[in-house]
Amino acid sequence: MHFQWYPGHMTKARRMMQENIKLIDLVIELVDARIPMSSRNPDIDELGKNKARLILLNKSDLAEEKWNDAWIEYFRGKGYSAVKVNSKKGGGIKSIHSVIQDACKEKIERDRKRGILNRPVRAMVVGIPNVGKSTFINALAGKACAKTGNKPGVTKGKQWIRLNKNVELLDTPGILWPKFEDQNVGLKLAYIGSIKDEILNTEELAAELCHFLIEKYSGVLAKKYGVEEAGDGFALLRSVAESRHCLVRGNEFDTEKAARLLLDDFRNGRLGRITLEFPESM
Ligand code: G4P
């Protein structure tokens, strides 16, 4: 699913978020493990202040494990609860219940002191489009989840998924917009396919990605396409076109096709587990 943002979208999303956030104790923020910073919305800290916070490094199967661990440390160092998950395959999902209790321990303790026992934690999932919010909710809630709503004590119109006696989840996730006006961020969002390809030049995008891979993941392109990692990104695209027989009439190399192929391979993890940004540079 691709998503394009307009000012109207953003205003609406922000208003929804402000309304919903009043109802909850815990913000579960999904980020993409390949770009944990660029897939965040900088406003979330302001929107979620005074709430318990949990960051999930989703799609951790597509990012390099040592960097997943480094990012978890990074976020924990900033005071968030943080864990890595693979919502598609269910990896890390089982531990979420205890992580939620842990992230909300201050609230639970406050309740206890006021004599309130066993009040479920209310949580909401937020994140930019395509980060895996629906997949995560389905993985966590499963099919047999009971929906509650329009009952006394439950805000009218809101649907809550009762995960167990301790946790209720708002069934509609909050959509955040990325900080795509920052060129560097926009580029990384485009690599992972979160910004429409049509608004960017595919060849330039793939050439930039080649450039990054040669620098940080040397050997990956050589192994996958049998090419020599020499020259700039465009030279590499030509080599990929040659090795994959991407040709246009007159036997010219179809670098556009090679670019699409390469981006597709990257996005689907066929180039291996690759992290695009690193906590040390933040
Ligand atoms: P959203 O609600 O935040 O917009 O995201 P959604 O759940 O629709 O997920 C977007 C895409 O990301 C889906 O792929 C989904 O399968 C994939 N995805 C979600 N979590 C993970 C994960 O942990 N690892 C991996 N590898 N992929 C994940 P799709 O191409 O749109 O659909 P499909 O091909 O899976 O059917």
pLDDT tens digit sequence for 178-235 = 887 888 999 999 999 988 766 679 999 999 999 999 999 999 999 999 999 988 999 9
Of all protein residues, whose CA lies closest to atom 22 belonging to ligand 1? 59
- 116, burial (CB in 10 Å: exposed 0-12, middle 13-18, buried 19+): exposed
62 Cβ inside 6 Å of ligand 1: yes
Distance 130 CA to ligand 1 centre (A): 6
Q: Residue 156 has what pLDDT? A: 55
Pairing assessment for the beta strands 121-127 and 167-170 based on DSSP bridges: parallel
pLDDT tens digit string along 67-79? 999 999 999 999 9
Give the position, in ligand 1's atom list, of the atom nearest the Cα of 3. Answer: 4
* CATH 3.40.50.300 for domain 8-171: yes
| Alpha-carbon span 206 to 111, nearest angstrom | 52
Split at pLDDT 50, 70, 90, the class of 280 is confident
Least confident of 124-128, 146-150, 170-174, 226-230: 146-150
Q: Residue 248 has what pLDDT? A: 86
Distance 209 CA to ligand 1 centre (A): 21
Q: Residue 145 has what pLDDT? A: 54
Contact yes or no for 255/238 (Cβ under 8 A): yes
Contact yes or no for 18/44 (Cβ under 8 A): no
| Alpha-carbon span 128 to 32, nearest angstrom | 9
88 Cβ inside 6 Å of ligand 1: yes
Distance 253 CA to ligand 1 centre (A): 33
Higher pLDDT, 223 or 16: 223
68 Cβ inside 6 Å of ligand 1: no
pLDDT tens digit string along 246-276? 988 878 999 999 999 999 999 999 999 999 9
- List Cα–Cα distances, 120 to 41, 54, 129, 138, 171, in angstroms: 27, 16, 28, 20, 15
Of all protein residues, whose CA lies closest to atom 24 belonging to ligand 1? 59
Query: How crowded is residue 276: how many other Cβ atoms within 10 Å of its Cβ?
Result: 26
172 Cβ inside 6 Å of ligand 1: no
Q: Residue 199 has what pLDDT? A: 66
Which one, of 109, 114, 139, 136, lies nearest residue 125 by Cα? Answer: 136
Q: Residue 149 has what pLDDT? A: 46
| Alpha-carbon span 282 to 180, nearest angstrom | 17
Which one, of 244, 267, 264, lies nearest residue 255 by Cα? Answer: 244
Reading the block at residue 125, the tokens are 């999932």
Element (H, E) at 266: helix 255-267
| Alpha-carbon span 119 to 196, nearest angstrom | 43
Distance 269 CA to ligand 1 centre (A): 13
Split at pLDDT 50, 70, 90, the class of 1 is very low
Q: Residue 118 has what pLDDT? A: 82
| Alpha-carbon span 182 to 129, nearest angstrom | 17
Amino acid in the structure at residue 201: N
Per-domain residue ranges of the chain: 8-171, 201-281
Distance 258 CA to ligand 1 centre (A): 24
61 Cβ inside 6 Å of ligand 1: yes
Contact yes or no for 178/131 (Cβ under 8 A): no
SS3 track for 176-222: CCCCCCCHHHHHHHHHCCCCCHHHCCHHHHHHHHHHHHHHHCCCHHH
Q: Residue 181 has what pLDDT? A: 81
Under CATH, which number does the domain 201-281 receive?
1.10.1580.10
Of all protein residues, whose CA lies closest to atom 29 belonging to ligand 1? 1
Per-residue pLDDT for 18 more than 50? yes
| Alpha-carbon span 169 to 139, nearest angstrom | 13
Split at pLDDT 50, 70, 90, the class of 143 is low
- 177, burial (CB in 10 Å: exposed 0-12, middle 13-18, buried 19+): middle
